[in-house]
């Protein structure tokens, strides 16, 4: 028991040292001791281990102190020690990327009008992985892991609910881990967007990222920690009731928010108004910019519904900032001002509301981030 405790403490100290180097490097060994509060002997031993594992490099010589003496050797995280594969399974698209540990993209793919199929998706992911293996630059660890964004509810690596494609209860992580030979991680796409936004600006520790695609979800970070709830359903704001006895929803309720202001719902309504079978965001944008009255009314109504969701999220979690990750918002910059016009309560006055800083890259960047964190064991 005592040995186990010592081993756990050593692993914890390794994580502290590595995290400190990643966030603040390059640093000397003396800097690390000062930053972490660990003694110099412990720091030196952990640095030796991290150097041997090729996770950090000695990058140069720092400045000497005022007292003189030998100039310190600086240490820096090796962001190219390993690779990750990030995959976003949208309701009508498939995006993926091969990235270094810091999220730098080496190669990416995007397929529109791709419909996820339970019978073929595992083979499709395996094909993507093999393609990226053939494109991967030489690194010490190669492709270390795969992270997949699921547009639905995920808890403990299990897919619980996917309203717009049939992946619920498919043991995707376990099957693919066996097939690919590397760990495969699953996470809700809105959560990944929130993780990516936090990685961009860690000063905002209480944030919500509202993701509008097939549905409407919210990734919630409280004090920098992802809040998923007891059963993984926290943030499923698309299923708050907007209209009692309204449109039926796959969740079993009627009148859910996402039946009125998700990307899918907006496109379907626009197609109905204009007699278009497969409308696109570009079609909506073009009609809006020409001043089409029906499209303008649709956009105005969507902004009103979204404001209701933001008001409820704001009053529940009181975040510092709310990001909106939406192709519709990106295409129509007037959407955010329209949303703000519908927020009249003093309770929302001090909260920043803005489009995602990463736009369509947010989900893949978030997936890459969790894959890297788990490879480096920084999330334990």
DSSP string, 167-182: -TT--HHHHHHHHHSS
Task: Return the structure tokens found at 14.
Answer: 């390794």
Domain end residue (candidates: 32, 58, 77): 77
Count of CB atoms situated within 10 Å of the CB of 8? 11
**Local confidence band at 1 (pLDDT 50, 70, 90 cut-offs):** very low
pLDDT at 84: 97
Q: Which 8-state DSSP code applies to residue 70?
A: P
- Residues 91, 117 share a domain: yes
- Residues 113, 48 share a domain: no
Is position 380 within any domain? no
Comparing CA positions, the residue from 194, 177, 184 lying closest to residue 228 is 194
- Residues 250, 107 share a domain: no
Percent of the chain predicted with pLDDT > 70: 96
- Residues 317, 301 share a domain: yes
Is position 347 within any domain? yes
pLDDT at 63: 63
**CATH number, domain containing residue 225:** 3.30.420.40
**How many domains does the chain contain in total?**
3
With H, G, I as helix, E, B as strand and everything else as coil, classify residue 218: strand
DSSP state letters, 264-322: HHHHHHHHHHHT-SS--HHHHHHHHHTT-HHHHHHHHHHHHHHHHHHHHHHHHH--SEE
- Residues 338, 207 share a domain: yes
Q: Which 8-state DSSP code applies to residue 63?
A: P
Domain end residue (candidates: 59, 77, 95): 77
With beta carbons less than 8 A apart as the criterion, state whether 218 and 225 touch: no
- Residues 325, 225 share a domain: yes
With beta carbons less than 8 A apart as the criterion, state whether 364 and 108 touch: yes
Looking from the CA of 98 toward its CB, the CA atoms found within 13 Å total 20
**CATH number, domain containing residue 20:** 1.10.10.10
Task: Return the structure tokens found at 337.
Answer: 């001002």
Q: Tell me: pLDDT of 110 over 50.
A: yes
Q: Tell me: pLDDT of 125 over 50.
A: yes
Task: Return the structure tokens found at 141.
Answer: 């660890």
**Local confidence band at 3 (pLDDT 50, 70, 90 cut-offs):** very low
Q: Note the pLDDT tens digit of each residue in 258-280.
A: 999 999 999 999 999 999 998 99
Residue with tokens 């991290």: 50
- Residues 73, 87 share a domain: no
Q: Tell me: pLDDT of 66 over 80.
A: no
Mean per-residue pLDDT over the chain, rounded: 92
Q: Tell me: pLDDT of 374 over 80.
A: yes
Task: Return the structure tokens found at 347.
Answer: 């309770």
Q: Tell me: pLDDT of 142 over 60.
A: yes
Q: Note the pLDDT tens digit of each residue in 318-333.
A: 999 999 999 999 999 9
- Residues 189, 230 share a domain: no
**Local confidence band at 347 (pLDDT 50, 70, 90 cut-offs):** confident
Q: Tell me: pLDDT of 68 over 60.
A: no
With beta carbons less than 8 A apart as the criterion, state whether 370 and 147 touch: yes
Is position 38 within any domain? yes
- Residues 153, 26 share a domain: no
Q: Tell me: pLDDT of 102 over 80.
A: yes
Q: Average of pLDDT values for 300-311?
A: 96
Count of CB atoms situated within 10 Å of the CB of 14? 20
Task: Return the structure tokens found at 104.
Answer: 């730098």
Q: Which domain holds residue 27?
A: 2-77
pLDDT at 34: 92
Q: Average of pLDDT values for 120-141?
A: 96
Is position 323 within any domain? yes
- Residues 327, 256 share a domain: yes
Is position 240 within any domain? yes
- Residues 290, 226 share a domain: yes
Is position 184 within any domain? yes
Q: Which helix (H) or strand (E) holds 9?
A: helix 2-24
Q: Average of pLDDT values for 192-215?
A: 93
**Local confidence band at 197 (pLDDT 50, 70, 90 cut-offs):** very high
Q: Average of pLDDT values for 181-210?
A: 95
Is position 214 within any domain? yes
**Local confidence band at 99 (pLDDT 50, 70, 90 cut-offs):** very high
List, in sequence order, every residue forming a beta bridge with 210; answer none if it has no partner.
Answer: 218, 324
Buried/exposed 341-354: b ≥16 CB within 10 Å, e otherwise: eebeeeebeebebe
Domain end residue (candidates: 27, 48, 77): 77
| Strand 73-77 versus strand 83-89 pairing type | unpaired
Q: Note the pLDDT tens digit of each residue in 21-63.
A: 998 889 999 999 999 999 999 999 999 999 999 999 998 776 6
Percent of the chain predicted with pLDDT > 90: 82
pLDDT at 231: 84
Q: Note the pLDDT tens digit of each residue in 206-259.
A: 999 999 988 999 999 999 999 988 888 899 999 999 999 999 999 999 999 999
Q: Average of pLDDT values for 163-169?
A: 92
**Rounded CA separation 228/235 (Å):** 7
- Residues 352, 207 share a domain: yes
Residue with tokens 């009053």: 315
Is position 21 within any domain? yes
């Amino acid at each position: 028991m005592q040995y186990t405790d010592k081993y756990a403490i050593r692993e914890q100290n390794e994580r502290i040292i590595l995290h400190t180097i990643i966030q603040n490097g390059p640093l000397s060994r003396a800097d690390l001791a000062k930053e972490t509060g660990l003694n110099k002997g412990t720091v030196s031993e952990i640095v030796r281990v991290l150097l041997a594992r090729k996770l950090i490099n000695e990058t140069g010589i720092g400045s000497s102190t005022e007292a003189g003496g030998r100039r310190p050797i600086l240490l820096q995280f090796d962001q190219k020690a390993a690779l990750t594969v990030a995959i976003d399974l949208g309701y009508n698209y498939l995006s993926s990327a091969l990235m270094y540990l810091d999220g730098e993209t080496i190669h990416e793919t995007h397929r529109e009008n791709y419909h996820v199929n339970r019978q073929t998706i595992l083979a499709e992911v395996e094909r993507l992985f093999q393609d990226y293996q053939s494109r991967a630059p030489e690194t010490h660890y190669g492709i270390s892991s795969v992270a997949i964004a699921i547009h639905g509810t995920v808890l403990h690596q299990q897919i619980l609910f996917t309203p717009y494609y049939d992946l619920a209860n498919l043991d995707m992580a376990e099957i693919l881990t066996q097939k690919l030979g590397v760990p495969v991680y699953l996470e809700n796409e809105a959560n990944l967007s929130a993780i990516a936004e936090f990685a961009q600006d860690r000063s905002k520790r209480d944030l919500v990222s509202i993701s509008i695609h097939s549905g409407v979800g919210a990734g919630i970070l409280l004090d920098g920690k992802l809040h998923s709830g007891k059963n993984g359903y926290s943030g499923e704001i698309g299923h708050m009731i907007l209209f009692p006895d309204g449109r039926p929803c796959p969740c079993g309720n009627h009148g859910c928010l996402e039946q009125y202001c998700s990307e899918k719902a907006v496109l379907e309504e626009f197609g109905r108004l204009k007699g278009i079978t497969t409308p696109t965001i570009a079609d909506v944008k073009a009609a809006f910019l020409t001043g089409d009255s029906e499209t303008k009314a649709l956009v105005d109504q969507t902004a009103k519904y979204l404001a209701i969701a933001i008001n409820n999220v704001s009053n529940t979690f009181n975040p510092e900032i709310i990001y909106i990750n939406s192709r519709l918002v990106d295409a129509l910059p007037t959407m955010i001002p329209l949303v703000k016009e519908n927020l009249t309560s003093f309770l929302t006055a001090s909260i920043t509301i803005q489009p995602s800083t990463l736009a369509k890259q947010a989900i893949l960047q978030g997936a890459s981030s969790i894959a890297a964190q788990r490879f480096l064991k920084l999330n334990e």
